[in-house]
Amino acid sequence: MDASVAIVGGGISGLSTAYYLAKAGIPSTIVEARPQLGGVIQTEHVQGCVIEGGPDSFISIKPAAMELIRDLDMAGEVIGSNDHLRVTYVWKRGRLVPLPDGLQLMVPTKLIPLLTTRLLGWPTKLRMGMELFHPPGRHPEDQSVAAFVTQHYGAEAVDYLAEPLLSGIYGGSPSALSISSVLPRFVELEAKYGSLTRGVLAELKANKAQARSQPLFRTLKGGLAQLVTALTARIAGHATILHRRAVAVERTGGGFRLRLDDGSLDCAHLVLACEAHNAATLAAGLDARLADLLAGIPYSSSMTMALAFPDSAFPRPLAGFGFLVPKRERRRLVACTWVGTKFSHRVPTGTTLLRCFLGGMDDGAVLSESDDAIVATVVSELHEIVGFQAAPLFWRIFRWPRSMAQYTVGHPQRLAEIQARALAIPGFDLAGNAYTGIGIPDCIRMGKQAAEGIAKALCVV
């Protein structure tokens, strides 16, 4: 089989690549091992509930997702997070304590909530005040999020702010994650202002109007799979979908030969839009060093579990968006969201839907537990933490082995070498959550960039 452009991976990165290629009039072939497209974006509809198996939303400040959605004429389907109800709790010493108002990740911006919070002790509060005098500077070397946050706010801010917040996003540990890759904005603020608090306050002042005009998160009324369905419909006629596993790549005179578990595919342009560990296996036939670098990007495994309860199971309505469990206090649960509070259009009246997040770098083993065993554990932890006694009406479990890339210390250097080596292979590109951002908007941006690069090479633009 022959294709001008082959894309390995039919997640949002690969679909976005195919979409922007189709817009430029360039046909492509997507090779996807799973029976369905969307990668980790999977939505189920159960008894009136919209259940997200993977991501539930995307962050508003990164524009690529909304640009794509508008392009697909789907802006009317977008809903924002109910930010007026946004409070996140942290489980600390047997109680749920709200994150202090005004916190931007781990950066405090309001005095009274900081002084009155039970989440942090007085030494940390004092240190947060002294942080205003942190001198500007740049660290020559990348460092861990934990080291960076400790320098600014102390160890307790790592344990009860940075660690639970990053575990809920990356499933990763602040002592391993790279500050330059995970929170580059804070590195810039440190260089300019010294104090992160002063930097964030200055940013807030400058972006006041914009901050008020958009919700923190956005999603689609019917779930994110709506985006996958719309993309699939829009690329039909321009992209061929092959449900096969790509097992190896070799160079040919005209480009590449992709060996599939059944047959092969020749192409002039190849985009690996799959997880870096899978891209590593394929890139081995092109550049051994590139393959090693890709294989060196760690991935965490995670599990989401949706559990529905009748509202009557709870002694009082659940306030806020949900809770995080810091590693110091951890059971199996890492985080839990009250789905119906965070977003409208998700849960029918009378039902409470909890979305639980488990796994991460420290507990990939949770994926091999049986459904019954892990549901029993989660229900018992929910009973303890949320304070109610009821069995779920129904539950759904989604396992995501090695799906979330970890930008560990040294990622910027590793990435620079990966990009240089990829660039040296004519017609070859990489897209996906292992490179310049793990969120949906990042993956769409990378897919678009890959498509633009191909269009440029083919002189279509």
Ligand X SMILES: Cc1cc2nc3c(=O)[nH]c(=O)nc-3n(C[C@H](O)[C@H](O)[C@H](O)COP(=O)(O)OP(=O)(O)OC[C@H]3O[C@@H](n4cnc5c(N)ncnc54)[C@H](O)[C@@H]3O)c2cc1C
When binding is defined by CB under 6 A, the residue of 14, 108, 164, 223 that contacts ligand X is 14
How far is the C-alpha of 202 from the C-alpha of 260, rounded, in Å?
53
66 forms part of the interface with ligand X (CB under 6 A)? no
156 forms part of the interface with ligand X (CB under 6 A)? no
How far is the C-alpha of 170 from the C-alpha of 361, rounded, in Å?
9
**35: Cα within 13 Å, side-chain hemisphere:** 0
The residues, any chain, with a CB within 8 Å of residue 138's CB and separated by 6 or more, are 187, 190, 191
Nearest distance in Å: CB 379, ligand X: 20
When binding is defined by CB under 6 A, the residue of 28, 60, 337, 403 that contacts ligand X is 403
Per-residue interface string for the shown chain with ligand X, residues 278-307, x marking contact by CB under 6 A: x-----------------------x-x---
Nearer to ligand X, 124 or 232 (CB): 232
When binding is defined by CB under 6 A, the residue of 11, 154, 172, 340 that contacts ligand X is 11
The residues, any chain, with a CB within 8 Å of residue 276's CB and separated by 6 or more, are 294, 295, 297, 299, 405, 432, 434, 435
How far is the C-alpha of 197 from the C-alpha of 186, rounded, in Å?
10
Q: Could you tell me the CA-to-CA distances from 301 to 21, 170, 251, 357, 420 in Å, in that order?
A: 31, 10, 32, 11, 28
443 forms part of the interface with ligand X (CB under 6 A)? yes
Q: Which residue has its beta carbon closest to ligand X?
A: 39
Q: Which stretch binds ligand X (CB under 6 A): 3-11, 78-86, 96-104, 415-423?
A: 3-11
228 forms part of the interface with ligand X (CB under 6 A)? no
Nearer to ligand X, 374 or 443 (CB): 443
41 forms part of the interface with ligand X (CB under 6 A)? yes
How far is the C-alpha of 284 from the C-alpha of 307, rounded, in Å?
42
Q: Which stretch binds ligand X (CB under 6 A): 101-109, 118-126, 376-384, 431-439?
A: 431-439
Nearest Cα neighbor of 50 from 248, 315, 340 is: 340
Burial of 458 from C-beta contacts in 10 A (0-12 / 13-18 / 19+)? middle
When binding is defined by CB under 6 A, the residue of 21, 31, 146, 430 that contacts ligand X is 31
How far is the C-alpha of 306 from the C-alpha of 308, rounded, in Å?
7
How far is the C-alpha of 403 from the C-alpha of 54, rounded, in Å?
10
- What's at 67, amino acid-wise? E
Nearer to ligand X, 157 or 335 (CB): 335
Rule CB under 6 A: which of 194-223 touch ligand X?
A: none
Q: Which stretch binds ligand X (CB under 6 A): 9-17, 72-80, 99-107, 311-319?
A: 9-17
218 is written with which tokens?
């956005």
How far is the C-alpha of 347 from the C-alpha of 297, rounded, in Å?
37
Which residue has 């899978």 as its token pair?
A: 278
How far is the C-alpha of 405 from the C-alpha of 298, rounded, in Å?
6
- What's at 84, amino acid-wise? H
Nearest Cα neighbor of 407 from 118, 145, 103, 214 is: 145
Nearest distance in Å: CB 47, ligand X: 22
CB 393 within 8 A of CB 310: yes
When binding is defined by CB under 6 A, the residue of 78, 196, 225, 404 that contacts ligand X is 404
**214: Cα within 13 Å, side-chain hemisphere:** 15
When binding is defined by CB under 6 A, the residue of 225, 274, 336, 385 that contacts ligand X is 274
Nearer to ligand X, 120 or 434 (CB): 434
Helices vs. strands in the chain: H and E counts, helices first: 18, 19
39 forms part of the interface with ligand X (CB under 6 A)? yes
Nearer to ligand X, 56 or 131 (CB): 56
- What's at 35, amino acid-wise? P
**112: Cα within 13 Å, side-chain hemisphere:** 0
Q: Which stretch binds ligand X (CB under 6 A): 106-114, 178-186, 274-282, 372-380?
A: 274-282
Nearer to ligand X, 11 or 199 (CB): 11
When binding is defined by CB under 6 A, the residue of 3, 5, 40, 366 that contacts ligand X is 40
When binding is defined by CB under 6 A, the residue of 142, 159, 190, 275 that contacts ligand X is 275
CB 4 within 8 A of CB 27: yes
- Site residue total, ligand X (CB under 6 A): 36
406 forms part of the interface with ligand X (CB under 6 A)? no
Per-residue interface string for the shown chain with ligand X, residues 361-400, x marking contact by CB under 6 A: ---------------------------------------x
Q: Which stretch binds ligand X (CB under 6 A): 20-28, 52-60, 122-130, 201-209?
A: 52-60
Tell me which residues touch ligand X (CB under 6 A): 8-14, 31-34, 39-41, 54-58, 245-246, 273-275, 278, 302, 304, 400, 403-404, 432-433, 438-440, 443
